[in-house]
Amino acid sequence: MPDKAHTTRKVLTSLAEVAGVSMENIYRMETWSNPNTSVKHYSVDILASQEASFGSSNFGAASVIVGHPLDTVKARLQVGKGYGNTFNCIFTIYKNENVAGFFKGMSFPLASIAVYNSVVFGVFSNTLSLLSQYRDKSPRQSPDLFDLTVASMLSGCISVGIGGPVDLVKIRLQMQTQEIITGRRSLNQTQVPHKWHAVYNGPAHCMSCILRQEGIAGMYRGAGAMLLRDIPGYCLYFIPYTFLCEWITSDQHRAPSSFCVWIAGGLAGALSWGTATPMDVVKSRLQADGVHSTNYKGVTDCITQSYQKEGIRVFFKGITVNTVRGFPMSAAMFLTYELTRKAMKRTNME
């Protein structure tokens, strides 16, 4: 029968690699802080990362299926023409494309959500663990604002590397048949709307076309805007969640209840997505740009053109949908994450 410690180390090494953190580095720091460390102690220190990776991916597929229809509505409001308000957009999509229209571009996010959430939550938890060990803090001590900010910002950066191509393909498939305005608008220029036919047969064909026409760099179109959205966005995701859980929970030595997690996670998600809307608009426009023609040279040009054509209100398109969608998705995500952590802790203790 294999040695239990050896097996545990192998499993945890694999999980750490998925989260993008070297187990050797973690072990080296633990040895530095405690020369008498054992494999058992070492495995407990990164247990939170293991739980984070598994728990965050557990609810991923369901959250994509539930949230994608609103994501399509948000994308059409931000990039499409002639949709007006949210309810008119929903009615128009249903009238012209039936229920299937709300699920365009869903397959790629659905296939990648487990990896995406595992890496993002894993990096966040590992970063907190590393900072705690470097700063000689007790494992039971709650992370402070500095630790949470650094971990959140790093998670935001990592999220773009994985989520950029996924978002690009999703937006292209959502918007490829929509009415658009071609060319740049000038004061004395009239533009004509066009209805376009589908360019892509699916996510694989979409990726193939982008790589063939634009290369690897094309897969990261809009990455600058995505960084400007996700770095502060994840700060307003993880930090409020952590502090709200502590504030709602009366006994600081007790784990937050399911109700506390649900409320804190939902409020954090609504806040994060709501405040991220201005850069989300820019990101969506840059990623949709290039399906039939290219109108924007970059983030600054997109912001300038959008403001000149539609005023300051353009940067708040889809904010209601973003906020409403952010609450239940984030609440359910954090709840499943915490419940899975508790279940894995009980299994580990047994």
- What is the average pLDDT across 112-118? 86
126-140, 177-191, 221-235: least confidently modelled range: 177-191
* Pairwise CA distance, residues 66 & 75, whole Å: 16
What's the burial of 268, exposed, middle or buried (CB within 10 Å: 0-12/13-18/19+)? buried
Q: Give residue for tokens 């229209």.
A: 101
Give the pLDDT band (50/70/90) at residue 46: very low
- Reported as type and span, the H/E element at residue 307 is helix 299-310
Query: Span 171-180, mean pLDDT?
Result: 82
The amino acid at 307: Y
Decide if 134 contacts 105 (C-beta within 8 A).
Answer: no
Residue 96 buriedness (CB in 10 A; 0-12 / 13-18 / 19+)? exposed
Residue 347 has pLDDT above 80, yes or no: no
Confidence band for 54, pLDDT divided at 50, 70 and 90: low
- pLDDT for position 63: 80
Give pLDDT, residue 57: 53
Helices (H), 135-257: 145-175, 203-218, 223-248
Tens-place pLDDT, residues 299-338: 999 999 999 999 999 999 999 999 999 998 888 888 877 7
Where is mean pLDDT largest: 21-35, 88-102, 194-208?
88-102
- The residue that leads in pLDDT, 156 or 19, is 156
Kindly tell me the burial class for residue 106, based on how many C-beta atoms sit within 10 Å of its own C-beta (0-12, 13-18, 19 or more).
Answer: buried
**pLDDT for residue 349:** 66
Q: What is the mean pLDDT of residues 80-92?
A: 90
**Phi, psi (deg, nearest 5) at residue 253:** -95, 0
The reported pLDDT for the residue numbered 101 is 92
Of residues 123 and 135, more confidence is placed in 123
pLDDT at site 329:
87
Structure tokens at 112: 């990648």
Place of tokens 């040695």: 3
Question: Phi and psi for 175 in degrees, rounded to 5?
Answer: -110, 0
The predicted pLDDT at position 321 comes to 95
Question: What mean pLDDT comes out for the span 112-136?
Answer: 87
Cβ contacts of 175 within 8 Å, gap of 6 or more: 75, 76, 79, 80, 288, 291
Query: What pTM was computed for the model?
Result: 0.78
| Least confident residue range of 4-8, 48-52, 325-329 | 4-8
Which has the closest alpha carbon to 105: 184, 198, 35?
198
Residue range 238-285, pLDDT digits in tens? 999 999 988 888 666 577 788 889 999 999 999 999 999 999 999 999
Statement: residue 8 has pLDDT above 50: no
47-183+197-349 CATH, one of 1.50.40.10, 3.10.590.10, 3.40.50.2300, 3.30.930.10: 1.50.40.10
* 77-86, 229-238, 280-289, 302-311: least confident range: 77-86
Amino acid 343: pLDDT: 76
Structural contact between residues 27 and 44, judged by C-beta atoms closer than 8 angstroms:
no
Q: Which 3 state secondary structure label does DSSP give 81?
A: coil
Residue predicted with more confidence, 230 or 6: 230
Residue 257 CB neighbours (<10 A): 13
The reported pLDDT for the residue numbered 191 is 44
Helices (H), 47-106: 47-58, 60-79, 86-97
**Structural tokens at position 41:** 């102690």
194: β partners: 180
Is residue 215 pLDDT above 50, yes or no? yes
